[in-house]
Amino acid sequence: MNYRHAYHAGNFADCMKHALLVSLLSSFLRKPSPFVVLDTHAGVGRYDLEGTEAEKTQEWRSGIGLLEQEGPESPLAPWLDLVKKAGLPHRYPGSPMLASFMLRPQDQLICCEKHPEDKRVLYGLFTRTPNVFVHERDGYEALRALLPPKDAKRGLVLIDPPFEQTDEFKRLVEAVQTIRTRFPTGVIAIWYPIKHRTPVRTFLTALQDAGVRDMLTAELLMAPPTDPDRLNGSGLLVIKPPFGFAAQAEAQLARLKTVLGAHDYSVTQISPE
């Protein structure tokens, strides 16, 4: 399967993932020391909500399309301000563009995209942004090649795979072990789909068995996770979550549940530090 995120940009899963991502990155801004963001599956960086792909599925209308009128008091406001900066209602930013908006001169964003056409689009987006670097390479392979960062001791590794492969969860467990070995001080964030509970439960158990601690999951369910043939929700696993992130995630997911009409949400500490 040749996954193209343009069909799904701005849907409920994007809204959840990106609101939480902005909260994670905000935590790095509390200190002046530099940080690095490694985005292993970057995509094209920004998506046209009036393009053929987005118009075909209309998924954004039940996601970001319902959130445009949120006010400055909303827990989603810091993320939505960046979405509007990217060109909403016509365009929707992916994780690379959101992260780039939050960089200071001393910080860096490293993007990996293995599809040549998507990499060219992504590269063009950042030609005038000196602290953003775009690589045409497999995101999992990049973990060994690009970690630890050369110029920072702090950072976030974002892994947002398309789940094209049946062994994606297994590859994620191996990726976490690699990151912990090469960049033990880094925060790890992994997006995952929720169709039914068994694959996610097996994934989290495998991480615990591997000795991974200090894990938190934030999940938004649009329907009960009982149908393995449909996307019922999505989650973000955060390893070494920053102080205060759990409370921020709770407030953001509660608001998303209300506005998007979701079935349920949860923020769960999986394994204590």
| CA–CA distance, 183 with 168 (Å, rounded to integer) | 21
Main-chain dihedrals φ then ψ at residue 267, nearest 5 degrees = -130, 115
Q: What is the dihedral of CA 171, 173, 174, 177, to 10 degrees?
A: 160
- Is 89 buried (19+), middle (13-18) or exposed (0-12) by CB count in 10 A? middle
Contact 166, 49 (CB under 8 A): no
How many alpha carbons lie under 13 Å from residue 132 in its C-beta half-sphere?
A: 23
| CA–CA distance, 107 with 196 (Å, rounded to integer) | 38
Going by C-beta distance under 8 Å and a sequence separation of 6 or more, which residues neighbour residue 179? 143, 147, 157, 186, 188
Contact 256, 12 (CB under 8 A): yes
Name residue 46's beta-bridge partners. 93
| CA–CA distance, 255 with 23 (Å, rounded to integer) | 14
Query: Is 160 among the residues known to form the active site?
Result: yes
Name the one residue in this structure whose structure tokens are 């204590």. 272
Q: Which of 107, 118, 160, 229 is catalytic?
A: 160
H/E element, 56: helix 52-57
Name residue 31's beta-bridge partners. none
Residue 7 has what DSSP assignment? G
Q: Which residues are catalytic?
A: 160
